[in-house]
Amino acid sequence: MLSRRAKEVSPSATLQITASANRMVKEGKDVVAFGAGEPDFDTPSVIKDAGIAAIQSGFTKYTPTSGIPELKEAIVSKLKTENGLVYSPANIIVSCGAKHSIYNTIQVLMDEGDEALIPVPFWVSYPEMVKLAGGKPVLVATSLKKDFKVNPEILERHLTPKTKILILNSPSNPCGVVYRRDELRAIADFCVKHNIYCISDEIYEKIIFDGIEHVSIASFSDAMKKLTVTVNGFSKSYSMTGWRLGYLAAEPVIASAVSNLQDHSTSNPTSITQKAGVAAFSLGEEFFGDIRKKFQERRDYITSRLDKIKDKIGYKKPEGAFYIFCDISRTKMDSFTFAKRLLEEKLVALIPGAPFGCDDYVRISFATSMDKIKKGMDRIEEWLWERQ
């Protein structure tokens, strides 16, 4: 009955654990949730107020499919000043979240049988999105020892005449890697040399630690800019996950293809959300400075706790985003078993690594309060000692 496309898509494998955790919370159990995929702070009030004002002034009708001019102008100016990318509004398509932007880009770039290079660990939706377009996800292995990073040499080994795109995510979910300027330049050279398109998912741009700079891969050359679709959004930077607002910047041919696709699928992103998005850009470096400080303190705390159980759990210190990807191979459990038992026996919910392409890892999210983090780390440590 179902289409081949629909049958090929995997359900979200992490949902089961999350559902169990939620059920336990409802039953009144004291679950520590390390599963969050969204910031734990409230959407800032200047953003909420702009959304409310939009409703009250009647800004509640269709807008242009690709976004209101005011928001596109604000995005153009952001990309220019913060990312060194010079675009015009015709290059910008606003969508219902960065996920939507990535989905649409893959739909307009990939034909049946085309291949997408996806570094492992990957954000769970990338391979599924590629499959939905009829494409083939080509998973590119990395290692904790090499900081979970790919380079041209590794990528070249997976190159075929069918290779069409590379999906990069820096800072990354789930492992928090942040590619440096020279590493990105080498990858840009690889893309230009082999004419590979790059989807650069920069959603965690603002959540970056130790003063490391975020670099947009499209900024290296005109040739690379032509091949790159830069994707960003409001969910993680401004804690606006439920508002559904993201955008992409690309060559006009790609941008208009995405716009056509949106014309016949979602139409415009929500009108009131777009107004809220315009207001978000009024928040400056001070706002992000506070967020980074808070997340960095939590990261430092968790890593200090993990250092005490080094013989049981390995990790690479994340440089961005709000997750720590932990190597659990020494526990001899696969990631689902680990997550399930930890939840049942110690009431700590985290996300198994298998859906991210790594069955001997689990993901701890630190988008939760320091108190919860302390409690959760105590329980994990206790549990690992008890299991000996």
Ligand X SMILES: *Cc1c(COP(=O)(O)O)cnc(C)c1O
- Tell me which residues touch ligand X (CB under 6 A): 37, 97-99, 123, 169, 173, 201, 203, 233, 235-236, 241, 246
Distance CA 166, CA 92 (A): 20
Find the shortest distance in angstroms from Cβ 357 to ligand X: 13
CA atoms in the 13 A half-sphere facing the CB of 221: 13
DSSP state string for 294-353: HHHHHHHHHHHHHHTTTTT-EE---SBTTEEEEE-GGGT--HHHHHHHHHHHH-EE-EES
Closer residue to ligand X in complex, CB, 173/259: 173
User: Quick one: residue 113, left, alpha or beta (phi over 0 = left, psi -120 to 50 = alpha)?
Assistant: left
Question: Given the DSSP bridges, would you call strands 92-95 and 246-249 parallel, antiparallel or unpaired?
Answer: antiparallel
Q: Which residue's C-beta sits nearest to ligand X?
A: 97
Find the shortest distance in angstroms from Cβ 311 to ligand X: 31
CA atoms in the 13 A half-sphere facing the CB of 240: 32
> Radius of gyration over alpha carbons of the chain, in Å?
21
Closer residue to ligand X in complex, CB, 99/299: 99
Find the shortest distance in angstroms from Cβ 34 to ligand X: 15
Helix axes 45-56, 271-280, angle to 10 degrees: 140
Other Cβ atoms within 10 Å of 153 Cβ, number: 9
Closer residue to ligand X in complex, CB, 114/201: 201
Find the shortest distance in angstroms from Cβ 314 to ligand X: 22
Distance CA 303, CA 301 (A): 6
Q: Are 62 and 226 within 8 A, CB to CB?
A: no
Find the shortest distance in angstroms from Cβ 101 to ligand X: 8
Closer residue to ligand X in complex, CB, 137/233: 233
Closer residue to ligand X in complex, CB, 104/219: 104
Closer residue to ligand X in complex, CB, 325/384: 325
Find the shortest distance in angstroms from Cβ 98 to ligand X: 3
